[in-house]
C-alpha cells in the first residue's frame, strides 16, 4: 500500500508542479481553475463508473480495476465530444471565435481526468 500512496503523491505533485511552473515561470495564460471542472469530473466518474457497473457481472474481482480504468478513459473522450457539440452549438462561443480556445480547453479537461483517474483507480482497486 505504501508504494501506491508514494506513487499517488508523485503523480499529484508532479502534475501540480508542472502546471504551476507553466503558469508562473513561463507565463502561460489562465490559472489552476482551468483544470478544475465539476461537470467534467461528474462525466468521467458517472459515465465511466456506470459502464463498469453495467458489466460488473461479467468481470472477475481482479478485472474491475482495469475495467474502470478503460471506462474512465472512454468517458473522458465521450465528455470531450459532448463539449465539442456544446461548443459548436454556441454554448462555448458566447464571445465569438475569440472564445474558441476557452471552450476547447474546457472540452479537453474530461480527457485529462479520464487519463489521470483511470490508472489511479486501477492501482488502488488491484491487490
Reported as a single tens digit per residue, the pLDDT across 94-104 is 556 666 766 78
What CA–CA distance (Å, rounded) separates 114 from 110?
6
> pTM of the prediction?
0.84
Q: What cell was used for 53? A: 457497473
Give the tens place of pLDDT for each residue, 105-116: 878 999 999 999
Q: Rg of the Cα trace of the chain?
A: 17
Q: What integer is the mean pLDDT of 45-72? A: 93
- pLDDT above 90 as % of the chain: 54
Amino acid at each position: 500500500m505504501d508504494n501506491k500512496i508514494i506513487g499517488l503523491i508523485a503523480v499529484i505533485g508532479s502534475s501540480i508542479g508542472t502546471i504551476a511552473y507553466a503558469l508562473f515561470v513561463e507565463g502561460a495564460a489562465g490559472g489552476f481553475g482551468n483544470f478544475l471542472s465539476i461537470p467534467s469530473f461528474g462525466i468521467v466518474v458517472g459515465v465511466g463508473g456506470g459502464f463498469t457497473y453495467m458489466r460488473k457481472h461479467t468481470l472477475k474481482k481482479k478485472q474491475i480495476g482495469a475495467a474502470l480504468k478503460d471506462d474512465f478513459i472512454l468517458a473522458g473522450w465521450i465528455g470531450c465530444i459532448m463539449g465539442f457539440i456544446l461548443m459548436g452549438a454556441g454554448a462555448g462561443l458566447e464571445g465569438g471565435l475569440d472564445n474558441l480556445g476557452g471552450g476547447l480547453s474546457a472540452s479537453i479537461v474530461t480527457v485529462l481526468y479520464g487519463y489521470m483517474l483511470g490508472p489511479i483507480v486501477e492501482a488502488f482497486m488491484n491487490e
